[in-house]
Amino acid sequence: MTALLIICFCLILGSLGNPQFPEQEKDPKFWNTWAQRTLKNALTLQELNKNKAKNLILFLGDGMGIPTVTAARILKGQLNGQSGEETQLEMDKFPFVSLSKTYNTNAQVPDSAGTATAYLCGVKANEGTLGVSAAAVRSQCNTTQGNEVTSILKWAKDAGKSVGIVTTTRVNHATPSAAYAHCVDRDWYSDNEMPVEALQAGCKDIARQLFENIPNIDKNHYVWNKTQLLSLNPNNVDYLLGLFEPGDMIYDLERDTESDPSLTEMVDVAIKILKKNPSGFYLLVEGGRIDHGHHEGKAKQALHEAVEMDRAIGRAGLLTSDHETLTIVTADHSHVFSFGGYTPRGNTIFGLAPMLSDVDQKPFTSILYGNGPGYKVINGARENVSAVDYKGNNYQAQAAVPLNAETHGGEDVAVFAKGPLAHLLHGVHEQNYIPHVMAYAACIGEYREHCMSPSGSAGLRPAFSIVAVILSAARLLC
């Protein structure tokens, strides 16, 4: 048995041939010098940043599990003409990384509503519910009242900070809505989508809560296209609402770059407006369509969305200082997305594994899904992908089990952190720990008192709330 295994392994290695890689990597000095440079940096982290965080930024890659992060890194490098594996994402440069356990109170594999309640409101909740504790039951209107929990955006606003939401999904989608709504069903986008009994019992749809729960929304400067957004003078705008598409934003790969802003452009404007507040700000940024790409089995769309979010992380880093801004990058949950197959160094991330299946003698792509719409059997056999455009934008990678929508995954996701008290994100943590760290670092919410300065002025400023909400219209107008 052992001998057989060894032989198989050698055959696999033999089939790799001689992948190309930079000549310098053959010299041990190259790796030793690189590691020593990294070590020197790591040693400087002994001086922990214990400043009070003035600003808080959370980048949430919806569905951005660890395999997605690695694949996006390779894609980013390959888009820059490199082999990709050695590339550093912006999030890779963050000094502290931990793992977040994503399960919902009633679900091993979670959804985006229950998880949003965890990383925004600080408590785990049932899947499908927003801004309510686990005592609330999905779709049961009468379990809402008394079970509402508030989000860190409210804590920040109550402490005099400006708050903003930027997302590539519709503005009443699961992630952004946990910031301002309390709703037992994430699908209650508008009154049109609610059961009559729930409406009669006094439950409110999410769009209505957007307008009722976000203060001064009527004062918002409204923009609906990129030209308007980019021609704003941030010094003259305190409240901003930008809705650029009738539903979700278009995938970045297919975006109309004349009319719609990129996620990076939205983040740029949002930070320039929010940072005018001397008390600081909280900004939620969602790369919301990484998740949609995966659900559709379209890995190329998902990975380009992740690369664009990484670009936005880089932009935010240029506009803020780690001295006073705690920035966290994480995901709500993973997906059943994988890449493997002993691909050689520099293999295009959308390419084939360098071998044929030893069962059906057909090639296979490195990227595969555990389930989803890419399941394909032709004449009773697995599709031969060499005849199809598997590098196309909308190619649906093969899946083991047919499903109309590929599912979330249940494993932990990464949390990258930099700035004041980033080191509190260090091991394996429950997902609802994240807003507690952020609130503690900024002395807001339940943690207002712990760092009351002698001047004691933090949190006493008049509310100066700015909303940089981006997206959606039709859903709101129902």
Ligand X SMILES: *[C@@H]1O[C@H](CO)[C@@H](O)[C@H](O)[C@H]1NC(C)=O
Q: Report the candidate in 137, 331, 172 with the shortest Cα–Cα distance to residue 243.
A: 172
Q: Among 33-41, 180-188, 289-297, 355-363, which window interacts with Zn ion (CB under 5 A)?
A: 289-297
In the bound state with ligand X, the residue whose beta carbon lies nearer, of 240 and 413, is: 240
> Which of the choices ligand X, Zn ion, none does residue 387 contact, using the CB cut-off of 5 to 8 A by kind?
ligand X
> Which of the choices Zn ion, ligand X, none does residue 386 contact, using the CB cut-off of 5 to 8 A by kind?
ligand X
Torsion of CA 395, 398, 401, 403, to 10 degrees: 0
> Which of the choices Zn ion, ligand X, none does residue 145 contact, using the CB cut-off of 5 to 8 A by kind?
none
In the bound state with Zn ion, the residue whose beta carbon lies nearer, of 63 and 160, is: 63
Q: Which residues contact 293 (CB under 8 A, 6 or more apart)?
A: 251, 299, 300, 301, 302, 303, 304, 305
> Which of the choices Zn ion, ligand X, none does residue 291 contact, using the CB cut-off of 5 to 8 A by kind?
Zn ion
Q: Among 225-233, 290-298, 301-309, 464-472, which window interacts with Zn ion (CB under 5 A)?
A: 290-298
Pair of tokens at residue 476: 């709101």
Q: Kindly state the smallest distance separating residue 263's Cβ from ligand X, in Å.
A: 18
Choosing from 100, 112, 133, 177, which is the catalytic residue?
112
In the bound state with ligand X, the residue whose beta carbon lies nearer, of 318 and 359, is: 359
Q: Which of 252, 291, 296, 412 binds Zn ion (CB under 5 A)?
A: 291
Active site residue 112: yes
Residues 375, 392: Cα–Cα separation, whole Å: 17
In the bound state with Zn ion, the residue whose beta carbon lies nearer, of 405 and 478, is: 405
Q: Among 79-87, 135-143, 234-242, 287-295, which window interacts with Zn ion (CB under 5 A)?
A: 287-295
Q: Kindly state the smallest distance separating residue 174's Cβ from ligand X, in Å.
A: 21
> Which of the choices ligand X, Zn ion, none does residue 457 contact, using the CB cut-off of 5 to 8 A by kind?
none
Pair of tokens at residue 85: 């594996």
Q: Kindly state the smallest distance separating residue 469's Cβ from ligand X, in Å.
A: 18
Q: Kindly state the smallest distance separating residue 260's Cβ from ligand X, in Å.
A: 9
Q: Kindly state the smallest distance separating residue 304's Cβ from Zn ion, in Å.
A: 17
Cα dihedral sign, 223-227-230-236: negative
> Which of the choices ligand X, Zn ion, none does residue 362 contact, using the CB cut-off of 5 to 8 A by kind?
ligand X
The number of beta carbons lying within 10 Å of the beta carbon of residue 212 is: 12
What does DSSP say about strands 281-287 and 162-167: parallel, antiparallel, or unpaired?
parallel
Q: Using CB under 5 A, count the residues that bind Zn ion.
A: 1
Taking CA atoms, 11 is separated from 84, 358, 396, in Å, by: 26, 11, 30
In the bound state with ligand X, the residue whose beta carbon lies nearer, of 405 and 474, is: 474
Pair of tokens at residue 332: 């709500």
Q: Is 310 in the site for Zn ion (CB under 5 A)?
A: no
> Which of the choices Zn ion, ligand X, none does residue 51 contact, using the CB cut-off of 5 to 8 A by kind?
none
In the bound state with ligand X, the residue whose beta carbon lies nearer, of 192 and 386, is: 386
Q: Kindly state the smallest distance separating residue 111's Cβ from Zn ion, in Å.
A: 7
In the bound state with ligand X, the residue whose beta carbon lies nearer, of 41 and 142, is: 142
Residues near ligand X (CB under 6 A)? 140, 142, 225, 227-228, 258-259, 361-362, 384, 386-387
Q: Kindly state the smallest distance separating residue 63's Cβ from Zn ion, in Å.
A: 5
Sheet holding 468-470, edge to edge: 221-223, 240-242, 468-470
Contacts with Zn ion by CB under 5 A lie at: 291
Active-site residue set: 112
